[in-house]
């Protein structure tokens, strides 16, 4: 039987005032209901904000080490549930089991990391130009933060917003994506069990156009942190602007890997295939463009096609390497881009359809797809697809490749495969992306260093993760003490 999950407001699990729920289903078997969740209203969102606002003083005045102990207990609770949460994530979002297990572990590690950092939130001491003056800064919590997260990393991204917010002493209202809200509810359960004060974190499910907008426009919300599509992010920026709310947006990507004439070809295929087909291409950092030197192009395409055709697709809990897309609409969107690529004249080398066989009868599966003969101006080379599709673009040299790589509206993650040190360093200096990789994939980031994009991929305001992840949730006050 699927579990019905309530909202969590002011320390209590409660039904929505609407009395309505919505269901989530298994992307590999859409007839299987995973859970039922509250279809919340703006009034539900408002009550959550009011609870968070009422809790700000108590949580802000809780000593950092005590906040850290609550986060550490949360990490321990998530660790004890790792297998359960991995299975839940696969059934809810569709990832292959090893990918889901890695994501759950990332959430555990994030809470462990910020448990330590909570002890260090304070400020800095500087030397003064006056002999009888103390000069120092104090870091104070921002107040109430609204956290709005996507479905593609349904426990890791909530973790990397919730943990630094609470470590910094901010209170939060949290809306997970409606396609995958179950696994993030476990974070709330473990924080509750760990002793988090009532109101410090509130969990409300429902449509983004209702709950998310209510969070973004509520006068008691001081900051909005969003990860998701560029279109929704920009609408949230507009909604938050009249009140001057602090904003943090991490959005789409159209991430390139440049394959230099000085590249190791096998490494290049590994890098592109891993970035393009891992997590079914459903990552904002996924590799969607392979910009390949003409001297290696034909052999690279042949090898990439061979790699794509070797990937076994199927339900994540049955040992397959690539799972389904999260929903029918996401799969159909990918297939629409395949059609667009063919209409515009690109060559479909492999994939591009729904795989055949009994195990694919009901799920939202799509084949790993490779296009060649792609012009940089084609839609499949310019627009985010969010599926396992990679466009191979030939190039005449490094400068040409760099120009093509930068000639999109996005700037999240980018990589180069090369054995030439000059090319590697020039790429780091000249690529327009917030995350730059040399000889490794565009996906996968370390939790203790900043993460974020440029151009339409980000608000370019505050970075996430690492020490920088605390900056969004704190305000610096400078003290001059003349004694």
Q: What digits encode the pLDDT tens for the residues 8-30?
A: 999 999 999 999 999 999 999 99
Tell me the backbone φ, ψ of residue 5, rounded to 5 degrees: -100, 130
Structure tokens that stand for 37 in this block: 């969740």
pLDDT at 426 over 90: yes
- The residue among 454, 372, 357 whose CA lies nearest residue 410 is 454
Place domain 255-438 in its CATH homologous superfamily: Aldehyde Dehydrogenase; Chain A, domain 2 (3.40.309.10)
- The residue among 459, 481, 464 whose CA lies nearest residue 168 is 464
At residue 3, the pLDDT reads: 80
**CA distances (Å), origin 238, targets 93, 146, 217, 263, 414:** 30, 15, 10, 44, 28
Q: What digits encode the pLDDT tens for the residues 405-425?
A: 999 999 999 999 999 999 999
Residue 358 pLDDT level (bands cut at 50, 70, 90): confident
Q: What is the mean pLDDT of residues 440-447?
A: 95
Provide the greatest CA pair distance for the chain.
80
Environment class of 266 (CB within 10 Å of its CB; exposed 0-12, middle 13-18, buried 19+): exposed
Right CATH for 3-251+458-482 from 3.40.50.300, 3.90.420.10, 3.30.1280.10, 3.40.605.10:
3.40.605.10
Question: Taking a C-beta distance cutoff of 8 angstroms, is the pair 81, 228 a contact?
Answer: no
What is the rounded average pLDDT for all residues in the chain?
Answer: 97
What is the rounded CA–CA span in Å between residue 217 and residue 236?
Answer: 9
pLDDT at 1 over 70: no
Question: Taking a C-beta distance cutoff of 8 angstroms, is the pair 471, 164 a contact?
Answer: no
**Strand extents, DSSP E, 92-141:** 125-126, 133-141
pLDDT above 70: percentage of residues in the chain = 100
Structure tokens that stand for 412 in this block: 């999240």
The region, left, alpha or beta by phi > 0 then psi within -120 to 50, assigned to residue 195 is left
Q: What digits encode the pLDDT tens for the residues 103-126?
A: 999 999 999 999 999 998 989 999
At residue 443, the pLDDT reads: 96
Q: What digits encode the pLDDT tens for the residues 207-229?
A: 999 999 999 999 999 999 999 99
The structure's pTM equals 0.96
pLDDT at 2 over 80: no
H and E: helices and strands count for the chain: 16, 22
pLDDT at 317 over 70: yes
What is the rounded CA–CA span in Å between residue 143 and residue 169?
Answer: 8
pLDDT at 195 over 80: yes
What is the rounded CA–CA span in Å between residue 256 and residue 401?
Answer: 10
Question: Taking a C-beta distance cutoff of 8 angstroms, is the pair 443, 413 a contact?
Answer: yes
Report the SS3 class of residue 465: coil
At residue 361, the pLDDT reads: 84
pLDDT at 363 over 90: yes
pLDDT at 462 over 80: yes
Q: Specify the length of the chain in residues.
A: 483
Residue with tokens 């917010």: 165
Note if 250 is an active site residue.
Answer: yes
Q: Which residues make beta-bridge pairs with 226?
A: 148, 249
Domain with CATH 3.40.605.10 in the chain: 3-251+458-482
- In the 8-state DSSP scheme, what is residue 312? P
At residue 254, the pLDDT reads: 98
Question: Taking a C-beta distance cutoff of 8 angstroms, is the pair 308, 351 a contact?
Answer: yes
**CA distances (Å), origin 368, targets 100, 279, 290, 305:** 19, 11, 15, 9
Q: What digits encode the pLDDT tens for the residues 30-84?
A: 999 999 999 999 999 999 999 999 999 999 999 999 999 999 999 999 999 999 9
Domain with CATH 3.40.309.10 in the chain: 255-438
- The residue among 38, 41, 35 whose CA lies nearest residue 23 is 35
Q: Which of 92, 189, 250, 423 is catalytic?
A: 250
């Amino acid at each position: 039987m699927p579990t019905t999950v309530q909202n969590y407001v002011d320390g209590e699990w409660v039904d929505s005032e609407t009395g309505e729920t919505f269901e989530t289903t298994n992307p590999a078997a859409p007839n299987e209901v995973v859970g039922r969740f509250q279809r919340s209203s703006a009034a539900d969102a408002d009550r959550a904000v009011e609870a968070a606002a009422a809790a700000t003083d108590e949580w802000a005045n809780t000593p950092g080490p005590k906040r850290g102990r609550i986060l550490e207990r949360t990490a321990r609770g998530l660790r004890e549930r790792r297998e359960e949460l991995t299975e839940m994530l696969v059934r809810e979002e569709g990832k292959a089991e090893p990918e889901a297990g890695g994501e759950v572990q990332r959430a555990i590690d994030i809470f462990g990391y910020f448990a330590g950092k909570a002890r260090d939130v304070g400020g800095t001491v500087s030397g003064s130009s006056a002999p009888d003056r103390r000069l120092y800064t104090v870091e104070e919590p921002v107040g109430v933060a609204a956290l709005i997260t996507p479905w593609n990393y349904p426990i890791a991204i909530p973790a990397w917003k919730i943990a630094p917010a609470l470590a910094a002493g901010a209170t939060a209202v949290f809306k997970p994506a409606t396609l995958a809200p179950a696994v993030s509810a476990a974070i709330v359960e473990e924080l509750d069990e760990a002793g988090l004060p009532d109101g410090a974190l509130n969990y409300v499910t429902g449509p983004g156009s209702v709950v998310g907008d209510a969070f973004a426009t509520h006068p008691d919300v001081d900051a909005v942190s969003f990860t998701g599509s560029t279109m929704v992010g920009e609408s949230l920026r507009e909604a938050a602007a009249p009140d001057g709310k602090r904003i943090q947006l991490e959005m789409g990507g159209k991430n390139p890997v440049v394959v230099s004439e000085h590249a190791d070809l096998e490494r290049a295929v590994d890098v592109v295939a891993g970035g393009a087909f891992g997590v079914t291409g459903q990552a904002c950092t996924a590799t969607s463009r392979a910009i390949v030197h003409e001297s290696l192009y034909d052999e690279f395409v042949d090898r990439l096609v061979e790699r794509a055709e070797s990937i076994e697709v199927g339900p994540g809990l049955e040992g397959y390497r690539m799972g389904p897309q999260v929903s029918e609409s996401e799969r159909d969107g990918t297939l629409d881009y395949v059609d667009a690529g063919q209409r515009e004249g690109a060559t479909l080398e492999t994939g591009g359809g729904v795989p055949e066989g009994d195990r694919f009868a009901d799920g939202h599966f799509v084949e790993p797809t490779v296009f060649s003969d792609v012009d940089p101006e084609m839609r499949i080379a310019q627009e985010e697809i969010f599926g396992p599709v990679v466009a191979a673009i030939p190039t005449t040299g490094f400068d040409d490749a760099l120009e093509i790589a930068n000639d999109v509206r996005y700037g999240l993650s980018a990589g180069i495969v090369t054995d030439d040190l000059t090319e590697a360093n020039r790429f780091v200096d000249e690529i327009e992306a917030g995350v730059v990789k040399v000889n490794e994939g565009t996906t996968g980031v370390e939790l203790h260093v900043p993460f974020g994009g440029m151009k339409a991929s980000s608000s370019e305001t505050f970075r996430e993760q690492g020490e920088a992840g605390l900056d969004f949730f704190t305000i610096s006050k400078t003290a001059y003490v003349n004694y």
